[in-house]
Amino acid sequence: EYVLPTLINMYAECGDTRSAHAMFGRVPDGDCVVSYNAMITAAVRSSRPGEALVLFREMQAKGLKPTPVTLTSVLSACALLGALELGRWIHEYVRKAGLDSLVKVNTALIDMYGKCGSLEDAIGVFQGMESIDRQAWSVMIVAYANHSYGREAISLFEEMRKQGIKPDAVTFLGLLYACSHSGMVSEGLQYFDSMREYGIVPGIKHYGCVTDLLARSGQLEKAYKFIDELPIKPTAILWRTLLSACGSHGAVDLGKRVFERILELDDTHGGDYVIYSNLCANTGEWEEMNRVRKLMNEKGVVKVPGCSSIEIDNRVHEFFAGDARHPHARRMVDQVIEQLKLVGYVPNTSQVFHVEMGEEEKATSLRYHSEKLAISFGLLNTSPGTTLRVVKNLRVCPDCHSMAKLVSMLFNRQIILRDLNRFHHFEDGVCSCGDYCLKSYCKCSSYKSWYG
Protein backbone atom coordinates (compact mmCIF):
# COMPACT_ATOMS: atom_id res chain seq x y z
CA GLU A 1 0.00 0.00 0.00
CA TYR A 2 1.77 3.11 -1.23
CA VAL A 3 -1.07 5.61 -1.01
CA LEU A 4 -0.56 6.65 2.61
CA PRO A 5 3.21 7.08 2.40
CA THR A 6 2.80 9.15 -0.73
CA LEU A 7 0.24 11.33 0.99
CA ILE A 8 2.50 11.69 4.01
CA ASN A 9 5.30 12.75 1.76
CA MET A 10 3.10 15.20 -0.09
CA TYR A 11 1.90 16.88 3.09
CA ALA A 12 5.39 16.97 4.53
CA GLU A 13 6.73 18.51 1.35
CA CYS A 14 4.14 21.28 1.55
CA GLY A 15 5.21 21.92 5.12
CA ASP A 16 1.92 20.63 6.51
CA THR A 17 3.37 18.54 9.33
CA ARG A 18 0.03 18.24 11.06
CA SER A 19 -1.71 16.54 8.14
CA ALA A 20 1.33 14.35 7.59
CA HIS A 21 1.08 13.17 11.18
CA ALA A 22 -2.65 12.62 10.79
CA MET A 23 -2.01 10.40 7.79
CA PHE A 24 0.69 8.57 9.68
CA GLY A 25 -1.74 7.93 12.53
CA ARG A 26 -4.08 6.20 10.09
CA VAL A 27 -1.50 3.62 9.11
CA PRO A 28 -2.86 0.29 10.38
CA ASP A 29 -0.95 -1.65 12.99
CA GLY A 30 1.90 -3.83 11.98
CA ASP A 31 2.39 -0.92 9.65
CA CYS A 32 4.61 -0.47 6.74
CA VAL A 33 8.21 0.60 6.66
CA VAL A 34 7.51 2.93 3.77
CA SER A 35 5.29 5.16 5.92
CA TYR A 36 8.04 5.36 8.52
CA ASN A 37 10.51 6.18 5.79
CA ALA A 38 8.30 8.99 4.58
CA MET A 39 8.05 10.42 8.09
CA ILE A 40 11.78 10.07 8.79
CA THR A 41 12.71 11.64 5.49
CA ALA A 42 10.32 14.50 6.10
CA ALA A 43 11.82 15.16 9.55
CA VAL A 44 15.36 15.19 8.18
CA ARG A 45 14.44 17.47 5.32
CA SER A 46 12.90 20.01 7.65
CA SER A 47 15.99 19.92 9.91
CA ARG A 48 14.44 17.98 12.77
CA PRO A 49 16.97 15.16 13.05
CA GLY A 50 16.02 14.35 16.65
CA GLU A 51 12.49 13.59 15.59
CA ALA A 52 13.81 11.36 12.83
CA LEU A 53 15.77 9.31 15.35
CA VAL A 54 12.77 8.96 17.65
CA LEU A 55 10.76 7.59 14.73
CA PHE A 56 13.61 5.26 13.87
CA ARG A 57 13.71 3.83 17.39
CA GLU A 58 9.95 3.48 17.43
CA MET A 59 10.11 1.61 14.18
CA GLN A 60 12.73 -0.76 15.50
CA ALA A 61 10.74 -1.36 18.66
CA LYS A 62 7.91 -2.53 16.45
CA GLY A 63 10.27 -4.97 14.79
CA LEU A 64 10.13 -3.27 11.41
CA LYS A 65 13.18 -3.87 9.29
CA PRO A 66 14.93 -0.74 7.98
CA THR A 67 15.35 -0.51 4.24
CA PRO A 68 18.21 1.24 2.41
CA VAL A 69 15.97 4.30 2.25
CA THR A 70 15.56 4.29 6.02
CA LEU A 71 19.29 3.94 6.50
CA THR A 72 20.27 6.82 4.23
CA SER A 73 17.76 9.10 5.92
CA VAL A 74 18.84 8.09 9.40
CA LEU A 75 22.50 8.58 8.44
CA SER A 76 21.58 12.04 7.28
CA ALA A 77 20.00 12.70 10.68
CA CYS A 78 23.21 11.51 12.36
CA ALA A 79 25.19 13.90 10.19
CA LEU A 80 23.03 16.83 11.24
CA LEU A 81 23.37 15.94 14.91
CA GLY A 82 27.00 14.88 14.93
CA ALA A 83 25.86 11.51 16.26
CA LEU A 84 28.95 9.48 15.48
CA GLU A 85 28.26 6.45 17.63
CA LEU A 86 24.82 5.92 16.22
CA GLY A 87 26.28 6.45 12.75
CA ARG A 88 28.82 3.70 13.38
CA TRP A 89 26.06 1.44 14.59
CA ILE A 90 24.17 2.00 11.35
CA HIS A 91 27.35 1.31 9.41
CA GLU A 92 27.69 -2.01 11.20
CA TYR A 93 24.06 -2.79 10.39
CA VAL A 94 24.68 -1.92 6.74
CA ARG A 95 27.60 -4.33 6.60
CA LYS A 96 25.69 -7.16 8.23
CA ALA A 97 22.72 -6.66 5.95
CA GLY A 98 25.04 -6.76 2.94
CA LEU A 99 23.97 -3.30 1.85
CA ASP A 100 27.50 -1.94 1.71
CA SER A 101 27.64 -2.14 -2.05
CA LEU A 102 24.89 0.41 -2.56
CA VAL A 103 26.30 3.69 -3.82
CA LYS A 104 23.68 5.86 -2.14
CA VAL A 105 24.13 4.19 1.22
CA ASN A 106 27.90 4.55 1.00
CA THR A 107 27.56 8.18 0.02
CA ALA A 108 25.37 8.80 3.04
CA LEU A 109 27.98 7.02 5.18
CA ILE A 110 30.80 9.20 3.84
CA ASP A 111 28.75 12.29 4.51
CA MET A 112 27.88 11.13 8.01
CA TYR A 113 31.50 10.36 8.91
CA GLY A 114 32.62 13.64 7.41
CA LYS A 115 30.10 15.67 9.36
CA CYS A 116 30.71 13.75 12.58
CA GLY A 117 34.42 14.43 12.50
CA SER A 118 35.84 11.10 11.44
CA LEU A 119 37.58 11.84 8.18
CA GLU A 120 39.47 8.52 8.37
CA ASP A 121 36.24 6.55 8.35
CA ALA A 122 34.90 8.65 5.49
CA ILE A 123 38.03 7.88 3.48
CA GLY A 124 37.72 4.22 4.43
CA VAL A 125 34.20 3.97 3.02
CA PHE A 126 35.17 5.96 -0.07
CA GLN A 127 38.14 3.76 -0.85
CA GLY A 128 36.11 0.61 -0.35
CA MET A 129 33.55 1.57 -2.96
CA GLU A 130 33.42 -0.45 -6.16
CA SER A 131 31.98 2.31 -8.25
CA ILE A 132 31.97 5.95 -7.37
CA ASP A 133 29.47 8.30 -8.90
CA ARG A 134 29.56 12.06 -9.12
CA GLN A 135 27.72 12.53 -5.88
CA ALA A 136 30.09 10.31 -3.93
CA TRP A 137 33.09 12.23 -5.28
CA SER A 138 31.43 15.50 -4.32
CA VAL A 139 30.60 14.35 -0.83
CA MET A 140 34.18 13.23 -0.28
CA ILE A 141 35.48 16.59 -1.48
CA VAL A 142 33.10 18.35 0.90
CA ALA A 143 34.34 16.12 3.73
CA TYR A 144 37.95 17.15 3.05
CA ALA A 145 36.83 20.76 2.82
CA ASN A 146 35.09 20.62 6.19
CA HIS A 147 38.26 19.31 7.74
CA SER A 148 40.34 22.09 6.22
CA TYR A 149 42.27 19.77 3.95
CA GLY A 150 42.35 22.06 0.94
CA ARG A 151 45.17 20.30 -0.89
CA GLU A 152 43.52 16.91 -0.55
CA ALA A 153 40.18 18.28 -1.75
CA ILE A 154 41.88 19.70 -4.82
CA SER A 155 43.77 16.54 -5.65
CA LEU A 156 40.58 14.54 -5.28
CA PHE A 157 38.91 16.91 -7.71
CA GLU A 158 41.75 16.46 -10.20
CA GLU A 159 41.53 12.70 -9.79
CA MET A 160 37.81 12.85 -10.47
CA ARG A 161 38.40 14.82 -13.65
CA LYS A 162 41.04 12.34 -14.79
CA GLN A 163 38.51 9.56 -14.43
CA GLY A 164 36.17 11.45 -16.70
CA ILE A 165 33.49 12.21 -14.07
CA LYS A 166 31.92 15.59 -14.70
CA PRO A 167 31.79 17.87 -11.68
CA ASP A 168 28.51 19.61 -10.92
CA ALA A 169 27.53 22.73 -8.99
CA VAL A 170 27.91 20.99 -5.63
CA THR A 171 31.37 19.65 -6.49
CA PHE A 172 32.47 23.21 -7.10
CA LEU A 173 30.93 24.38 -3.87
CA GLY A 174 32.99 21.84 -1.99
CA LEU A 175 36.10 22.85 -3.87
CA LEU A 176 35.63 26.60 -3.29
CA TYR A 177 34.75 25.93 0.31
CA ALA A 178 37.97 23.95 0.72
CA CYS A 179 39.98 26.82 -0.76
CA SER A 180 38.42 29.50 1.42
CA HIS A 181 38.96 27.51 4.59
CA SER A 182 42.57 26.70 3.75
CA GLY A 183 43.55 30.19 2.66
CA MET A 184 44.10 29.12 -0.96
CA VAL A 185 42.85 32.33 -2.51
CA SER A 186 44.34 32.21 -6.01
CA GLU A 187 43.47 28.54 -6.47
CA GLY A 188 39.89 29.22 -5.40
CA LEU A 189 39.49 32.12 -7.80
CA GLN A 190 40.94 30.02 -10.59
CA TYR A 191 38.47 27.22 -9.99
CA PHE A 192 35.66 29.74 -9.78
CA ASP A 193 36.59 31.07 -13.21
CA SER A 194 36.84 27.55 -14.61
CA MET A 195 33.22 26.79 -13.78
CA ARG A 196 32.08 28.21 -17.11
CA GLU A 197 34.18 25.65 -18.96
CA TYR A 198 32.02 22.96 -17.42
CA GLY A 199 28.85 24.79 -18.36
CA ILE A 200 27.99 25.48 -14.74
CA VAL A 201 26.44 28.83 -13.94
CA PRO A 202 27.58 30.05 -10.51
CA GLY A 203 24.74 30.26 -8.00
CA ILE A 204 24.40 32.40 -4.90
CA LYS A 205 26.26 29.81 -2.82
CA HIS A 206 29.26 29.90 -5.14
CA TYR A 207 29.32 33.66 -4.83
CA GLY A 208 29.11 33.12 -1.08
CA CYS A 209 32.24 30.96 -1.16
CA VAL A 210 34.17 33.49 -3.22
CA THR A 211 33.10 36.26 -0.86
CA ASP A 212 34.34 34.15 2.00
CA LEU A 213 37.58 33.41 0.14
CA LEU A 214 38.35 37.09 -0.37
CA ALA A 215 37.06 38.34 2.95
CA ARG A 216 38.65 35.74 5.20
CA SER A 217 42.03 36.39 3.61
CA GLY A 218 41.70 40.10 4.35
CA GLN A 219 40.77 41.42 0.92
CA LEU A 220 37.78 43.15 2.41
CA GLU A 221 37.28 46.01 -0.04
CA LYS A 222 37.61 43.60 -2.93
CA ALA A 223 34.98 41.39 -1.35
CA TYR A 224 32.68 44.39 -0.90
CA LYS A 225 33.04 45.28 -4.54
CA PHE A 226 32.50 41.66 -5.53
CA ILE A 227 29.16 41.47 -3.73
CA ASP A 228 28.08 44.88 -4.92
CA GLU A 229 28.66 44.02 -8.55
CA LEU A 230 27.08 40.57 -8.63
CA PRO A 231 24.85 39.76 -11.58
CA ILE A 232 22.19 38.61 -9.12
CA LYS A 233 20.81 40.26 -6.01
CA PRO A 234 22.98 39.39 -3.03
CA THR A 235 21.35 37.91 0.06
CA ALA A 236 21.93 39.05 3.62
CA ILE A 237 24.06 35.93 4.04
CA LEU A 238 26.66 37.26 1.61
CA TRP A 239 26.95 40.54 3.47
CA ARG A 240 27.00 38.65 6.74
CA THR A 241 29.98 36.65 5.50
CA LEU A 242 31.80 39.89 4.87
CA LEU A 243 30.69 41.41 8.15
CA SER A 244 32.09 38.48 10.05
CA ALA A 245 35.43 38.86 8.24
CA CYS A 246 35.40 42.58 9.12
CA GLY A 247 34.99 41.38 12.68
CA SER A 248 38.02 39.12 12.62
CA HIS A 249 40.12 41.75 10.82
CA GLY A 250 39.00 44.62 13.04
CA ALA A 251 37.74 46.68 10.07
CA VAL A 252 35.16 48.79 11.80
CA ASP A 253 34.65 51.40 9.04
CA LEU A 254 33.88 48.88 6.34
CA GLY A 255 31.95 46.89 8.93
CA LYS A 256 29.64 49.85 9.40
CA ARG A 257 28.94 50.12 5.68
CA VAL A 258 28.32 46.40 5.45
CA PHE A 259 26.04 46.47 8.47
CA GLU A 260 23.94 49.17 6.78
CA ARG A 261 23.64 47.01 3.70
CA ILE A 262 22.45 44.09 5.78
CA LEU A 263 19.77 46.15 7.52
CA GLU A 264 18.37 47.15 4.14
CA LEU A 265 17.82 43.49 3.34
CA ASP A 266 17.01 41.91 6.69
CA ASP A 267 17.00 43.66 10.06
CA THR A 268 15.64 40.72 12.04
CA HIS A 269 18.78 38.64 12.38
CA GLY A 270 20.19 38.93 15.88
CA GLY A 271 23.62 37.62 14.93
CA ASP A 272 24.38 40.61 12.73
CA TYR A 273 23.89 43.06 15.59
CA VAL A 274 26.05 40.95 17.84
CA ILE A 275 28.91 40.64 15.34
CA TYR A 276 28.86 44.34 14.58
CA SER A 277 28.57 45.51 18.15
CA ASN A 278 31.43 43.21 19.12
CA LEU A 279 33.48 44.68 16.32
CA CYS A 280 32.72 48.14 17.70
CA ALA A 281 33.67 47.05 21.19
CA ASN A 282 36.94 45.52 20.01
CA THR A 283 37.92 48.70 18.22
CA GLY A 284 36.85 51.03 21.01
CA GLU A 285 33.84 52.55 19.24
CA TRP A 286 31.74 52.67 22.35
CA GLU A 287 29.04 55.12 21.25
CA GLU A 288 28.47 53.15 18.09
CA MET A 289 28.30 49.98 20.11
CA ASN A 290 25.64 51.41 22.36
CA ARG A 291 23.67 52.68 19.38
CA VAL A 292 23.65 49.17 17.87
CA ARG A 293 22.69 47.51 21.13
CA LYS A 294 19.78 49.92 21.47
CA LEU A 295 18.74 49.37 17.89
CA MET A 296 18.78 45.65 18.49
CA ASN A 297 16.40 45.97 21.42
CA GLU A 298 14.05 48.28 19.55
CA LYS A 299 13.77 45.97 16.57
CA GLY A 300 12.97 42.95 18.68
CA VAL A 301 15.27 40.72 16.67
CA VAL A 302 15.18 36.97 16.70
CA LYS A 303 17.72 35.62 19.12
CA VAL A 304 18.68 32.04 18.51
CA PRO A 305 21.02 30.95 21.26
CA GLY A 306 24.26 29.22 20.35
CA CYS A 307 24.02 25.50 20.70
CA SER A 308 26.57 22.80 21.30
CA SER A 309 26.01 19.12 21.46
CA ILE A 310 27.77 16.01 22.64
CA GLU A 311 27.11 12.36 22.29
CA ILE A 312 27.12 10.07 25.29
CA ASP A 313 25.99 6.45 25.14
CA ASN A 314 24.38 6.87 21.74
CA ARG A 315 22.33 9.84 22.84
CA VAL A 316 22.98 13.32 21.63
CA HIS A 317 22.60 16.05 24.20
CA GLU A 318 22.20 19.63 23.14
CA PHE A 319 23.24 22.58 25.22
CA PHE A 320 22.11 26.09 24.65
CA ALA A 321 24.12 29.12 25.61
CA GLY A 322 23.35 30.25 29.10
CA ASP A 323 21.40 27.16 29.98
CA ALA A 324 23.06 25.24 32.78
CA ARG A 325 19.96 23.35 33.81
CA HIS A 326 20.77 20.37 31.67
CA PRO A 327 21.90 17.64 34.08
CA HIS A 328 24.90 16.74 31.96
CA ALA A 329 25.93 20.36 31.65
CA ARG A 330 25.75 20.87 35.38
CA ARG A 331 27.79 17.77 36.08
CA MET A 332 30.38 18.64 33.53
CA VAL A 333 30.77 22.20 34.67
CA ASP A 334 31.65 20.86 38.11
CA GLN A 335 33.97 18.28 36.60
CA VAL A 336 35.76 20.85 34.56
CA ILE A 337 36.34 23.19 37.42
CA GLU A 338 37.80 20.26 39.36
CA GLN A 339 40.00 19.29 36.44
CA LEU A 340 41.18 22.82 36.00
CA LYS A 341 42.15 23.06 39.63
CA LEU A 342 44.02 19.77 39.41
CA VAL A 343 46.35 21.10 36.77
CA GLY A 344 46.66 24.46 38.39
CA TYR A 345 44.64 26.09 35.64
CA VAL A 346 42.38 27.96 37.98
CA PRO A 347 39.45 29.87 36.56
CA ASN A 348 39.60 33.53 37.30
CA THR A 349 38.33 33.58 40.86
CA SER A 350 36.58 36.89 40.52
CA GLN A 351 34.43 35.34 37.83
CA VAL A 352 33.48 32.44 40.06
CA PHE A 353 32.73 35.06 42.65
CA HIS A 354 30.32 36.70 40.24
CA VAL A 355 28.34 33.51 40.12
CA GLU A 356 28.11 33.38 43.86
CA MET A 357 27.17 37.01 43.98
CA GLY A 358 24.43 36.34 41.50
CA GLU A 359 25.44 38.97 39.04
CA GLU A 360 23.25 37.59 36.36
CA GLU A 361 24.99 38.85 33.29
CA LYS A 362 28.46 37.77 34.26
CA ALA A 363 27.20 34.51 35.66
CA THR A 364 25.59 33.72 32.36
CA SER A 365 28.80 34.38 30.56
CA LEU A 366 30.71 32.09 32.89
CA ARG A 367 28.17 29.35 32.45
CA TYR A 368 28.42 29.78 28.74
CA HIS A 369 32.14 29.29 28.65
CA SER A 370 32.09 26.59 31.28
CA GLU A 371 29.73 24.62 29.15
CA LYS A 372 32.05 24.81 26.23
CA LEU A 373 34.92 23.68 28.40
CA ALA A 374 32.77 21.13 30.10
CA ILE A 375 31.91 19.67 26.80
CA SER A 376 35.52 19.26 25.83
CA PHE A 377 36.28 17.56 29.09
CA GLY A 378 33.10 15.58 29.31
CA LEU A 379 33.90 14.06 26.00
CA LEU A 380 37.47 13.34 26.82
CA ASN A 381 36.51 11.63 30.03
CA THR A 382 34.71 8.86 28.23
CA SER A 383 36.29 5.54 27.37
CA PRO A 384 40.07 5.70 27.14
CA GLY A 385 41.60 4.74 23.84
CA THR A 386 39.06 6.56 21.72
CA THR A 387 40.75 9.32 19.86
CA LEU A 388 37.78 11.05 18.46
CA ARG A 389 34.98 13.07 19.92
CA VAL A 390 32.85 15.67 18.32
CA VAL A 391 32.22 19.06 19.74
CA LYS A 392 29.79 21.01 17.69
CA ASN A 393 29.68 24.75 17.40
CA LEU A 394 32.72 25.34 19.50
CA ARG A 395 34.46 28.51 18.49
CA VAL A 396 38.15 28.18 18.02
CA CYS A 397 40.28 30.84 19.58
CA PRO A 398 43.81 30.97 20.94
CA ASP A 399 42.47 30.18 24.35
CA CYS A 400 40.58 27.17 23.18
CA HIS A 401 43.77 26.33 21.42
CA SER A 402 45.67 26.37 24.67
CA MET A 403 42.79 24.47 26.16
CA ALA A 404 43.25 21.86 23.47
CA LYS A 405 46.93 21.75 24.20
CA LEU A 406 46.27 21.23 27.87
CA VAL A 407 43.77 18.52 27.21
CA SER A 408 45.92 16.62 24.76
CA MET A 409 48.79 16.73 27.24
CA LEU A 410 46.61 15.62 30.10
CA PHE A 411 44.84 12.79 28.40
CA ASN A 412 47.37 12.02 25.73
CA ARG A 413 44.63 12.07 23.13
CA GLN A 414 44.06 13.60 19.83
CA ILE A 415 41.09 15.89 19.91
CA ILE A 416 38.94 17.34 17.25
CA LEU A 417 36.91 20.48 17.59
CA ARG A 418 34.09 21.21 15.29
CA ASP A 419 32.97 24.75 14.92
CA LEU A 420 29.96 25.55 12.84
CA ASN A 421 31.20 24.21 9.59
CA ARG A 422 34.58 22.76 9.91
CA PHE A 423 36.89 20.74 12.04
CA HIS A 424 40.16 21.56 13.69
CA HIS A 425 42.43 18.73 14.56
CA PHE A 426 44.70 19.23 17.47
CA GLU A 427 47.49 16.85 18.16
CA ASP A 428 49.94 17.77 20.89
CA GLY A 429 48.17 21.07 20.97
CA VAL A 430 48.88 21.94 17.35
CA CYS A 431 46.06 22.47 14.90
CA SER A 432 46.43 20.67 11.60
CA CYS A 433 45.41 23.67 9.55
CA GLY A 434 48.32 25.64 10.88
CA ASP A 435 48.23 29.28 11.76
CA TYR A 436 45.63 30.14 9.22
CA CYS A 437 42.60 29.12 11.25
CA LEU A 438 43.83 30.83 14.35
CA LYS A 439 44.83 34.07 12.70
CA SER A 440 41.77 34.71 10.70
CA TYR A 441 39.06 32.76 12.35
CA CYS A 442 39.19 33.72 15.96
CA LYS A 443 37.24 36.24 17.83
CA CYS A 444 38.95 35.88 21.08
CA SER A 445 38.36 39.01 23.09
CA SER A 446 35.40 37.57 24.92
CA TYR A 447 37.19 34.35 25.66
CA LYS A 448 40.28 36.13 26.89
CA SER A 449 38.38 37.82 29.63
CA TRP A 450 37.54 34.48 31.07
CA TYR A 451 40.84 32.71 30.88
CA GLY A 452 42.71 35.77 32.09
Among residue numbers 354 through 383, which ones bind DNA (CB under 7 A)?
Answer: 365, 368
The single-letter DSSP state of residue 131 is: S
User: Binding segment for DNA among 22-30, 55-63, 186-194, 272-280 (CB under 7 A)?
Assistant: 272-280
The residue from 84, 139, 178, 403 that contacts DNA (CB under 7 A) is 139
Please choose, from the candidates 118, 82, 75, 77, the residue with its C-alpha nearest in 3D space to the C-alpha of residue 100.
75
Please give the backbone phi and psi of residue 417, each rounded to the nearest 5 degrees, phi first.
Answer: -105, 140
User: Binding segment for DNA among 87-95, 286-294, 299-307, 325-333 (CB under 7 A)?
Assistant: 299-307
The residue from 4, 72, 183, 227 that contacts DNA (CB under 7 A) is 72
Query: Binding to DNA (CB under 7 A): which residues in 3-22?
Result: 5-6, 9
The residue from 17, 48, 68, 318 that contacts DNA (CB under 7 A) is 68
Listed in sequence order, the DSSP H helices in 97-219 are 103-115, 119-127, 134-146, 150-162, 169-181, 185-194, 204-216
Q: Total residues at the site for DNA (CB under 7 A)?
A: 73
> CA torsion sign, 433 to 439 to 442 to 445?
positive
Q: Per CB under 7 A, does 168 bind DNA?
A: yes
SS3 of residue 307 by DSSP: strand
Neighbouring-strand partners of residue 318 = 309
Q: Per CB under 7 A, does 308 bind DNA?
A: no
Please choose, from the candidates 220, 236, 235, 204, the residue with its C-alpha nearest in 3D space to the C-alpha of residue 279.
220
**Would you say 103 or 410 has its CB closer to DNA?**
103
User: Hey, how many other C-beta atoms are within 10 angstroms of the C-beta on 361?
Assistant: 8
The residue from 4, 27, 34, 336 that contacts DNA (CB under 7 A) is 34
Closest distance of CB 208 from DNA, Å = 2
Element (H, E) at 310: strand 307-312
Q: Per CB under 7 A, does 102 bind DNA?
A: yes
Closest distance of CB 74 from DNA, Å = 10
**Would you say 413 or 450 has its CB closer to DNA?**
450
Length of the chain: 452
Q: Per CB under 7 A, does 271 bind DNA?
A: yes
Distance between CA atoms of 139 and 108, rounded to whole angstroms? Answer: 9
The residue from 53, 59, 126, 138 that contacts DNA (CB under 7 A) is 138
Closest distance of CB 440 from DNA, Å = 10
Let me know: does 54 contact 60? Beta carbons within 8 Å: no
Q: Per CB under 7 A, does 303 bind DNA?
A: yes
Let me know: does 192 contact 228? Beta carbons within 8 Å: no
Query: Binding to DNA (CB under 7 A): which residues in 416-445?
Result: 420-421, 443
The residue from 54, 97, 103, 230 that contacts DNA (CB under 7 A) is 103
Distance between CA atoms of 446 and 365, rounded to whole angstroms? Answer: 9
Query: Binding to DNA (CB under 7 A): which residues in 311-330?
Result: 321
Please give the backbone phi and psi of residue 396, each rounded to the nearest 5 degrees, phi first.
Answer: -100, 130
Closest distance of CB 337 from DNA, Å = 20
Query: Binding to DNA (CB under 7 A): which residues in 238-257?
Result: 238, 240-241, 244, 247
Distance between CA atoms of 276 and 258, rounded to whole angstroms? Answer: 9
The residue from 87, 208, 255, 347 that contacts DNA (CB under 7 A) is 208
Let me know: does 379 contact 310? Beta carbons within 8 Å: yes
Query: Binding to DNA (CB under 7 A): which residues in 381-400?
Result: 395
Let me know: does 39 contact 77? Beta carbons within 8 Å: no
User: Hey, how many other C-beta atoms are within 10 angstroms of the C-beta on 188?
Assistant: 26
The residue from 45, 48, 326, 330 that contacts DNA (CB under 7 A) is 45
Closest distance of CB 199 from DNA, Å = 15
Closest distance of CB 84 from DNA, Å = 16
Let me know: does 316 contact 310? Beta carbons within 8 Å: yes
**Would you say 139 or 407 has its CB closer to DNA?**
139
Distance between CA atoms of 165 and 405, rounded to whole angstroms? Answer: 42
**Would you say 144 or 408 has its CB closer to DNA?**
144
The residue from 21, 134, 317, 439 that contacts DNA (CB under 7 A) is 134
